[in-house]
Amino acid sequence: MSSITFGSFALPVSPIILLVSLMVGLLVVAILGRKQSISVGDSLVSIVIYSLVVGRIVFVIKFFDSYDSLWQVLDIRDRGFDMFSSFIAGLLILLLQIHRHPQQRKILIAGAATTVLLFTSIQGVINAGNEQSALPNLAFNTPQGASVNLQHVSNQNITVINLWASWCGPCRREMPVLYSAEQRFPSVKFIMLNQREPADVVTEFLAEIDLHFNYVLLDTKGDIATMMGAHGLPMTLFYDASGEMISSHFGEVSAASLQAELQNLTQKSTQ
């Protein structure tokens, strides 16, 4: 599960998990602080914000060549964060806050621990579920009518499946990023799996954008989206060479976030 629906809107699940975890952490510090007449809610929020800022800065530095503008650097919708750096930064800020205000120590540690443990536990369960998802042994037609099996395309290579539609704005914006990555990583199989659109619409759209992907397939019933619990588009699925899904990304991918995913896949495939 990579997204959650609210009416007609679909949102990525990770930020929601973080928000819920922080709210529970704030509830813990509010209850404990009330007994001692100490308020540390603002301190906990500051720790989370500053740690995320550090994680973003480190991520941008690592993949700086993938950013073309300041807006792309500031656009955190690609969820490009170095989580290890965020954790270390959060820990150091927590220790600094405790040093400055020792009376907050127990309450602040309790709130921070609650937030981190809840977030990592829920995210871990979701990631474990993703890792159990194998590349489906399904066949889909090309816009020209030929049947193509996903596993045959993969053929024990790292595989990226992008679920998209021509009416989807984020899908259209990320297509040049995916096409560029397909050219840069010839050993990676990119499958552009259109969702619930007829062949003539897909053909006309591809001619309009003038991008010639190696594999464009039609999932006219949305089988993969249903199987993966995708409640919106775009969604990108990342499989290692053995055909196991390592991660998924709901929403528009940036060049940096895509490079990070491919780098992670490559490292795991060589272990």
Give me 54's structure tokens.
């550090």
**Would you state the structure tokens that stand for residue 42, as one six-digit string?**
């603002």
pTM of the model: 0.89
Q: Which two tokens stand for residue 112?
A: 């921070």
**pLDDT, tens only, 162-189:** 999 999 999 999 999 999 999 999 999 9
Alpha carbons within 13 angstroms on the beta-carbon side of residue 39 total 1
Query: Among 6-20, 36-50, 90-104, 131-145, where is mean pLDDT lowest?
Result: 6-20
Contact 29, 41 (CB under 8 A): yes
DSSP designation for 244: B
Assign 127 a pLDDT band (cuts: 50, 70, 90).
confident
Q: At residue 161, does pLDDT exceed 90?
A: yes
Q: How far apart are CA 259 and CA 64, in angstroms?
A: 11
**pLDDT, tens digit, for every residue of 213-269?**
999 999 999 999 988 878 889 999 999 999 999 889 999 999 999 999 999 888 876
Give DSSP secondary structure letters for 130-155: HHTPBPP--EEE-TTS-EEEHHHHHT
CA angle 251, 163, 233 (to 5 degrees): 40
Phi, psi of 234 (to 5 degrees): -80, 165
Which residues, in sequence order, are CB contacts of 261 under 8 Å at separation 6+? 160, 236, 238, 247, 249, 253
- Is residue 65's pLDDT more than 70? yes
**Domain boundaries, given as residue ranges, for the chain:** 9-131, 139-269
Taking the C-alpha atoms of residue 22 and residue 183, their distance in angstroms, rounded to an integer, is 41
CATH topology of domain 139-269: Glutaredoxin (3.40.30)
